[in-house]
Amino acid sequence: MSARVAALALTARGGALARRIADALGDAEVHGLRGRVPDADRHFADASRHLRALFEEGRPIAGVCAAGILVRALAPALRDKGAEPPVVAVSEDGAFAVPLLGAHRGGGALAQRIAAAVGGRAALTTAGDRRFGVALDDPPEGWTLANPEHHKSFVAALLDGARVRVPPGVAWLEESELPADAAGALAIRVDDTALSGSPDTLVYHPRRLALGVGCERGAPADEILALARACLDGAGLAPEAVAGVFTIDLKADEPGVHALADSLGVPARFYDAAALEAQAGRLRNPSELVFREVGCHGVAEGAGLAAAGPRGALVVEKTKSARATCAIARAPAPLDPARLGRARGELRVVGIGPGDAGTLTPEARAAIEGADHVVGYRRYLELVAGLRHGRGVHAYALGEERARVEKALRLAADGERVALVCSGDPGVYAMAALVMEVLDATTDPALGRIALRVLPGVSALQAAAARAGAPIGHDFCAVSLSDLLTPRAAIEARLAAAAATDFVIGLYNPVSTARRETFARALGILRAHRAPETPVVVARNVGREGERVAIVGLQCLDPARVDMNTVLIVGSSATRTFAHGAATRAYTPRGYEMRTGDHADEGK
Ligand code: SAH
């Protein structure tokens, strides 16, 4: 179960229990009804709608409320019972945790963890789970049931009194209350070979195979997949028994390696040459050539053996295709790939929008929540403080942009998942350009292998425009008045050109603590080109505490009302204002009133 549990409450008392549950589970957050549950990580107004959204996102839900509320809310969303997340109803006094849905995805186990955390009881209603103390269709992490289609009849036979042959040495089976009997009519088999099972035999695959691969740069994914498949098939091994794909860190950005891992539904993990060379004595096919090229005597065999550990052994030795190699090692017990080697590092340059949770995009939220490290300017980190959860937080002062970028890149190069947080959009007067600049100039190959994405955000200009109406409905440009990185003459020349050509102009960084006179000069330039009554949107702290958005005439604009958290939108000659109820709206028409003929417009 990877998604974070939402512990949901509708009352203050429920909220307190939800908080205890979230704290005990660790990877969880409290969702509370707005106005009722003060201590919540996220608030919602409509419980049914919120529940359905969580369910559809696949988030496990612990609802501290009547079971009926959950049933009614989620009934319209029920579809695929194999894919639904666990949903557990918890009574407000914590006495009962009832798994309602998602039994196949850990619902019973979640109820038991919640019950253990709050001193209540898990009220399990699935017959097999209750009688035998184990959910045979939901084995522990590291195990896969090969024939779920036979689970129902198998449990029915057990409930009818049949006895079962249980293999020795598997703790979760031994700790269950299955009616074990060496002469039983039913059987459980544990195997990493591709057995299919039958109505009276459940087969479990332990994820204990380590698939080691090597390849040339750019080796086609199809070739690597076919080679891995041939190695598994040739040895009769089940793909479900593969715990991970392992290789050398030089291949961390090799698409074919990731395609193989994705096709198996397992992580790709990477070792440095020294860790692989430590396996040299165990290789069946050591190669001097490989050693000269990458610093270890074998990549596929070395990576498989490193992952399988000292008690593991090769089951398929190095096998080659035109541009790739593959080997398979078996460990004595299921492997936890998260602890083996390193992941490919990720850097997400995340725009969080102007500040309010409503304009934070779902992907930006997910990137921050999923990050091992969050890096950013202290104030921006405060804006998303509610999202962070016990990970590395690296707060910097204003002006330390390069240090921020270098820290974020270094962490990512070390295999961490990093979110570099920017306000607004990361590509608008923010960190994305500096990240590109550093990557463009670097000679460090580890930086070249980072998985990089820039996640757009709502820029201050867009947020301010939306508050005011539609002032950037037609051609516009943006000018930053900060002269830290741009000569004043260039700023003023651009401003004059933009003003002369009748662009709507967004002004970022109008003033700073040490700089006010550039704004006064900018006003002079604008006033020279635009009519005195030209509407100007003055938007301060948009989406943040102390938000103030005003629309004033260019002539009346008071520089004292402008601070460093202000963005301005200076209208063009076409920009107008009108009264809409109590509000004043500004907009720049696109020219529909001038349109003649019937041809379709280019944009909507
Ligand atoms: N990347 C940001 C811009 C950073 S430059 C974005 O896309 O919005 C910093 C400037 O942005 C500030 O000086 C101010 O002009 C503007 N700004 C950022 N957040 C703002 C907000 N919430 N309200 C008004 N202006 C803001």
pTM (2 d.p.): 0.77
359 and 422 assigned to the same domain: yes
The 3-state secondary structure of 572-598, one letter per residue = CCCCEEEEECCEEEEECCCCHHHCCCC
d(C-alpha 431, C-alpha 401), whole Å:
7
Q: Are strands 583-587 and 566-570 parallel, antiparallel or unpaired?
A: unpaired
d(C-alpha 245, C-alpha 104), whole Å:
26
CB atoms within 10 A of CB 592: 7
449 and 495 assigned to the same domain: no
d(C-alpha 399, C-alpha 116), whole Å:
48
Q: Is the CB of 325 under 6 A from ligand 1?
A: no
219 and 289 assigned to the same domain: yes
Q: Per residue in 495-545, pLDDT tens?
A: 999 999 999 999 999 999 889 999 999 999 999 999 999 999 999 999 999
Cα angle vertex 373, ends 370, 377, to 5°? Answer: 115
Q: Is residue 594 in a domain? A: no
Strand boundaries in 102-237, DSSP class E = 121-122, 143-145, 164-165, 186-190, 201-206, 209-215
Q: Is the CB of 423 under 6 A from ligand 1?
A: yes
Q: Is residue 176 in a domain? A: yes
- Segment 407-420 shows an average pLDDT of 95
- Looking at 307, 339, 371, the residue that finishes a domain is 339
Helix axes of 255-264 and 221-234: crossing angle, nearest 10 degrees: 50
Confidence of residue 167 (pLDDT cuts 50, 70, 90): very high
375 and 321 assigned to the same domain: no
- Segment 196-205 shows an average pLDDT of 94
Q: How far is the CA of 352 from the centre of ligand 1 (A)?
A: 11
How many domains does the chain divide into?
5
- Residue 23's domain is classified under what CATH number? 3.40.50.11220
Q: Is the CB of 534 under 6 A from ligand 1?
A: no
Q: Per residue in 353-392, pLDDT tens?
A: 998 888 999 999 999 988 999 999 998 888 888 777 657 9
Check: CB of residue 158 under 8 Å from CB of residue 164. yes
48 and 102 assigned to the same domain: yes
Q: Report the DSSP beta bridge partners of residue 548.
A: 540
Task: Determine phi and psi for 470, rounding to 5 degrees.
Answer: -145, 55
Q: Please name the residue whose Cα sits nearest to atom 11 of ligand 1.
A: 508
Atom of ligand 1 nearest to the CA of 351: 1
Token code pair at residue 601: 């417009």
Token code pair at residue 235: 């040895």
Cα angle vertex 215, ends 212, 220, to 5°? Answer: 115
Q: Is the CB of 431 under 6 A from ligand 1?
A: no
Q: Is the CB of 204 under 6 A from ligand 1?
A: no
d(C-alpha 417, C-alpha 400), whole Å:
21
Q: Per residue in 298-332, pLDDT tens?
A: 999 999 999 999 999 999 999 999 999 999 999 99
Q: Is residue 133 in a domain? A: no
Identify which of 509, 568, 569 to mutate to test ligand 1's pocket (most ligand atoms within 8 A of the CB): 509
Token code pair at residue 574: 């076409």
CB atoms within 10 A of CB 289: 8
Q: Is residue 135 in a domain? A: no
- Residue 439's domain is classified under what CATH number? 3.40.1010.10
Token code pair at residue 55: 């369910």
d(C-alpha 350, C-alpha 72), whole Å:
37
Identify which of 380, 518, 537, 566 to mutate to test ligand 1's pocket (most ligand atoms within 8 A of the CB): 566
Q: Per residue in 437-488, pLDDT tens?
A: 999 999 999 999 999 999 999 999 999 999 999 999 999 999 999 998 899 9
Q: Is the CB of 519 under 6 A from ligand 1?
A: no
96 and 20 assigned to the same domain: yes
Check: CB of residue 264 under 8 Å from CB of residue 287. no
Token code pair at residue 423: 């306000």
Where in the sequence is the domain holding 322, given as residue range(s)?
209-339
d(C-alpha 163, C-alpha 178), whole Å:
8
Cα angle vertex 51, ends 48, 56, to 5°? Answer: 125
To the nearest whole percent, how much of the chain has pLDDT over 70?
A: 97
Task: Determine phi and psi for 258, rounding to 5 degrees.
Answer: -70, -35
- Sheet with 504-508, strands from edge to edge, namely 476-480, 504-508, 566-570, 535-540, 548-553
Element (H, E) at 570: strand 566-570
Does residue 122 surpass a pLDDT of 70?
Answer: yes
Token code pair at residue 376: 């950013």
d(C-alpha 501, C-alpha 505), whole Å:
11
Strand boundaries in 186-265, DSSP class E = 186-190, 201-206, 209-215, 242-248
151 and 119 assigned to the same domain: no
Q: Is the CB of 425 under 6 A from ligand 1?
A: yes
Q: Is the CB of 206 under 6 A from ligand 1?
A: no
pLDDT at 1: 44
Q: Is the CB of 459 under 6 A from ligand 1?
A: yes
For 209-246, b/e burial (b = at least 16 CB within 10 A) is bbbbbbbeeebbbebbbebbeebbeebebbbbbbbbbb
Residues in the chain: 604
Q: Write the burial class of residue 317 (CB in 10 Å: 0-12 exposed, 13-18 middle, 19+ buried).
A: middle
pLDDT at 138: 87
CA distances from 182 to 128, 171, 502 (A): 20, 17, 88
Among 83-97, 380-394, 487-501, name the one with the lowest average pLDDT.
380-394
Does residue 5 surpass a pLDDT of 60?
Answer: yes
Check: CB of residue 249 under 8 Å from CB of residue 342. yes
320 and 423 assigned to the same domain: no
- What lies within 8 Å, CB to CB, of 446 at 6+ separation is 249, 413
Confidence of residue 604 (pLDDT cuts 50, 70, 90): low
467 and 452 assigned to the same domain: no
Does residue 343 surpass a pLDDT of 90?
Answer: yes
Q: Is the CB of 48 under 6 A from ligand 1?
A: no
Q: How far is the CA of 566 from the centre of ligand 1 (A)?
A: 7
Does residue 554 surpass a pLDDT of 70?
Answer: yes
Task: Determine phi and psi for 246, rounding to 5 degrees.
Answer: -125, 140
pLDDT at 175: 87
CB atoms within 10 A of CB 145: 22
Q: Is residue 138 in a domain? A: no
- Residue 571's domain is classified under what CATH number? 3.30.950.10
Q: Is the CB of 316 under 6 A from ligand 1?
A: no
d(C-alpha 522, C-alpha 196), whole Å:
75
Q: How far is the CA of 350 from the centre of ligand 1 (A)?
A: 15
Q: Per residue in 125-145, pLDDT tens?
A: 777 777 788 889 889 889 999
Long-range contact set of residues 31-34: C-beta below 8 Å, sequence gap at least 24: 31/6, 31/7, 32/8, 33/9
48 and 80 assigned to the same domain: yes
Among 41-50, 98-107, 349-358, name the one with the lowest average pLDDT.
98-107
Token code pair at residue 307: 């992952």
Q: How far is the CA of 280 from the centre of ligand 1 (A)?
A: 55
- Residue 220's domain is classified under what CATH number? 3.30.420.180
Atom of ligand 1 nearest to the CA of 482: 13
pLDDT at 195: 86
Q: Write the burial class of residue 355 (CB in 10 Å: 0-12 exposed, 13-18 middle, 19+ buried).
A: buried
Q: How far is the CA of 347 from the centre of ligand 1 (A)?
A: 22
- Looking at 125, 156, 187, the residue that finishes a domain is 125
Check: CB of residue 480 under 8 Å from CB of residue 598. no
CA 18 to chain centre: 23
Q: Are strands 164-165 and 186-190 parallel, antiparallel or unpaired?
A: parallel
Atom of ligand 1 nearest to the CA of 564: 13
Task: Determine phi and psi for 373, rounding to 5 degrees.
Answer: -135, 140
d(C-alpha 553, C-alpha 17), whole Å:
54
Q: Is residue 131 in a domain? A: no
Q: Is the CB of 43 under 6 A from ligand 1?
A: no
Nearest to 543 by CA among 463, 469, 478: 463
pLDDT at 579: 96
369 and 402 assigned to the same domain: yes
449 and 384 assigned to the same domain: yes
Cα angle vertex 289, ends 287, 292, to 5°? Answer: 115
Q: Is residue 551 in a domain? A: yes
Element (H, E) at 3: none
Q: Give the dihedral of Cα atoms 222, 227, 232, 234; nearest 10 deg.
A: 130
Reduced to 3 states (helix: H, G, I; strand: E, B; else coil), residue 560 is helix
- Looking at 339, 373, 408, the residue that finishes a domain is 339
Q: Is residue 481 in a domain? A: yes
